[in-house]
Amino acid sequence: MSMQAIERTTGCGQVCAQQLGQKIHLAGWVHRRRDHGGLIFIDLRDRTGLMQLVFNPDISKAVHEAAHHLRSEYVIAVSGSVVQRAPQTVNEQLPTGKWEMHVDSLVVLNKAKALPFTLEEAPDVEEELRIKYRYLDLRRADMHANLALRNNVVFAMREFLHNEGFYDIETPVLTKITPEGARGFLVPSRIYPGNGYALAQSPQLYKQLLMAGGMERYYQIAKCFRDEDSRADRQPEFTQLDLELSFPSEDMIMSLIERLLAYVFKKVLKQDLPTPFERMTYDHAFAHYGCDKPDLRFGFEIQDASQLFHDTQLNFLRAVLDKGGKIGAIHVGGHNFSHTELNRWVERAQKLGAKGLLWMHAKDGQEIDSPVAKFLPADFASRIKGAFPSFGASSVLFIMAGPYEPTWELLGRLRTELAKDLRVIKQGEKRFLWVTDFPLLEYDEKDKRWSAKHHPFTSPQAGWEQKQPGDIKARAYDVVLNGIELGGGSIRIFDPESQKKVFELIGLREQDAQAKFGFLLEAQELGFPPHGGIALGLDRFIMLLTGSQSIRDVIAFPKTQRGFDPMMEAPSALDEAQLRDCGLRIAPTAKKEDK
């Protein structure tokens, strides 16, 4: 039978009771083959699911003979009748498990040689090999489900924003080279030799200019590019939901995002998402969790324990306090740690970067067991009880000391490690959080200057002109889900005087500001409305919704952790002729002894 003679009439996973006794046409991949002597069974797979095929010599000897040669991942088309399975052979795990097709026609559309790995093996295969043969990996049900969910989430987002009056507007990918915090990708120009574009790190500047253009409500499913080291939740190119609106307040934008996410959860996941989300200032988040994106699915909050040791004679703690440092503690109750386990946590803290970790264990709720127990005051147990009321039997304090910010960051990382190890994280729970009131600026010790914590277009909070740079708060906000930053945004600067003063604070001279951002500064002098927005990391969001360990599991064609595409073998060697066209040449590689 010719290829054109079998035209698919339904999906493998869509066969239903209404088709019993009817002749249908299916097409797909050979998922599994079982030869039972007289009968041959094939599980045929397409993106809708599986359907069992039966090849019986009593129906067609030629077709039955041809089925002997079928192998995994052959692409075939078949025709036949849908019949009820025998009761003892029904597969309740499959939507089509009550029926089977008795095949009377078969066309092999394409054969498959031995695969580099089977689909069942794929989750355990080295990631680089999976990405090299990504088109095989994508055939797995898990990968299909991830991308189907991604499709449905994006559709729901578009639907919601369209109903809210937003315009879907594309912005350029090739753009001006500007300092935006991260290292960008450069694209040489053939028409302007020696010059180049940058691949857009985000649509930030363009969406602000759209507000200058009176669009008022913009969004985009935007591709962004940053030349940074890859991590589980980051790769060189990524996708975000980007939006901006005119005449907003912080509350307006946060409410919009809460309603958007609630709409997605209801429409796609059939779940009610409680709103409004909890809110927490940056200072509170850092003081209690050691980071600006706390995971609220477990406790173990950090507490300032400096007062506990106000009269300590322990030299290493006394030295920290005398230098203006702090002592932080995490209380873990209800877990019986052995000395061996406690000492292992000291080693783990050191691997995280800590100089040391002090532990104090309550033997019976009264006596303190610790490597420094003999140096503690007689009333120290009651002091701890006063500071940590729930401290008692099976309680441990993990203590670090040092300069506030680096010490609290380490405690924050230790907090997460403890929660994972003790399995206290509530799996399946979705804890959204807004973190607000970020510092506008952060001090760069290396360059000895202030820089923008988010970007230099973030508006400072009222009264900022009278404050020291380190005390100025930004009109910025991040939305966090389960300890991962899902997105961030801010109210933007829209008047040229404020923008000029912020540039001065970060040491950007007027002539440099004009060279880098002259187009934006001019727009601010031509009727620029107040505006603000946010961007949500779409890859991260889908990763969290699917419970995946990496954003690479929810991107169709990702790069490896080293930013390499083994399927396309990119990046690849540069062509000399193309370089000449762009007025470029490759500099000689430095000798090893010169590096």
The answer to whether residue 202 is domain-embedded is yes
Q: Could you tell me how far CA 366 lies from the centroid of its own chain?
A: 45
Distance between CA atoms of residues 595 and 591, nearest Å: 7
C-alpha distances out from residue 468 to 104, 436, 446, 464, Å: 82, 19, 20, 8
SS3 59: coil
Which string of b and e fits 521-538 if b means at least 16 CB within 10 Å? Answer: bebbeeebeebbbbbbbb
Q: CA geometry: angle at 530 spanning 529 and 535, to 5°? A: 115
On whether both 89 and 197 belong to a single domain, the answer is no
The answer to whether residue 87 is domain-embedded is yes
HEC string of 477-536 equals: EEEEECCEEEEEEEEECCCHHHHHHHHHHCCCCHHHHHHHHHHHHHHCCCCCCCEEEEEE
Give the pLDDT mean for 572-581: 87
On whether both 436 and 396 belong to a single domain, the answer is no
Among 196, 195, 205, smallest CA distance to 174 is for 196
Q: Is the pLDDT of residue 593 over 80?
A: no
On whether both 306 and 401 belong to a single domain, the answer is yes
Place of tokens 């095929």: 53
Identify the weakest region by mean pLDDT among 378-387, 415-424, 525-534: 378-387
Distance between CA atoms of residues 309 and 317, nearest Å: 8
- Identity of the residue numbered 166: F
On whether both 562 and 437 belong to a single domain, the answer is yes
On whether both 150 and 268 belong to a single domain, the answer is yes
Q: Domain boundary residue among 59, 88, 110?
A: 110
The answer to whether residue 138 is domain-embedded is no
Residue 349 corresponds to which tokens in the numbers above? 């803290």
For position 166, which CATH number holds?
3.30.930.10
Residue 168 corresponds to which tokens in the numbers above? 């879907």
For position 391, which CATH number holds?
3.30.1360.30
The answer to whether residues 153 and 260 touch, using CB atoms and an 8 Å cutoff, is no
Q: Which pLDDT tens digit goes with each residue over 498-534? A: 999 999 999 888 888 888 888 999 999 999 999 999 9
The answer to whether residue 131 is domain-embedded is no
The pLDDT of residue 181:
64
pTM for this structure?
0.91
Distance between CA atoms of residues 490 and 207, nearest Å: 13
Residue 81 CB contacts under 8 Å (≥ 6 apart), including other chains: 21, 22, 23, 24, 101, 102, 104
DSSP state of 571: S
On whether both 417 and 436 belong to a single domain, the answer is no
On whether both 473 and 412 belong to a single domain, the answer is no
Residue 227 CB coordination number (10 Å): 14
The answer to whether residues 433 and 296 touch, using CB atoms and an 8 Å cutoff, is yes
Q: Where would I find the H helices in 220-360?
A: 250-264, 282-289, 315-322, 339-352
On whether both 162 and 67 belong to a single domain, the answer is no
Q: Which pLDDT tens digit goes with each residue over 75-109? A: 999 999 999 999 999 999 999 999 999 999 999 99
Give the pLDDT mean for 217-231: 90
For position 36, which CATH number holds?
2.40.50.140
- How many domains does the chain divide into? 3
On whether both 254 and 223 belong to a single domain, the answer is yes
The answer to whether residues 123 and 548 touch, using CB atoms and an 8 Å cutoff, is no
The answer to whether residue 287 is domain-embedded is no
The answer to whether residue 364 is domain-embedded is yes
On whether both 26 and 69 belong to a single domain, the answer is yes
Distance between CA atoms of residues 291 and 413, nearest Å: 9
On whether both 454 and 473 belong to a single domain, the answer is yes
Q: What is the mean pLDDT of the chain?
A: 92
- Identity of the residue numbered 58: D
**Domain residues for 190?**
144-280+432-569
Banded pLDDT at 590 (limits 50, 70, 90): low
On whether both 171 and 266 belong to a single domain, the answer is yes
The answer to whether residue 452 is domain-embedded is yes
The answer to whether residue 18 is domain-embedded is yes
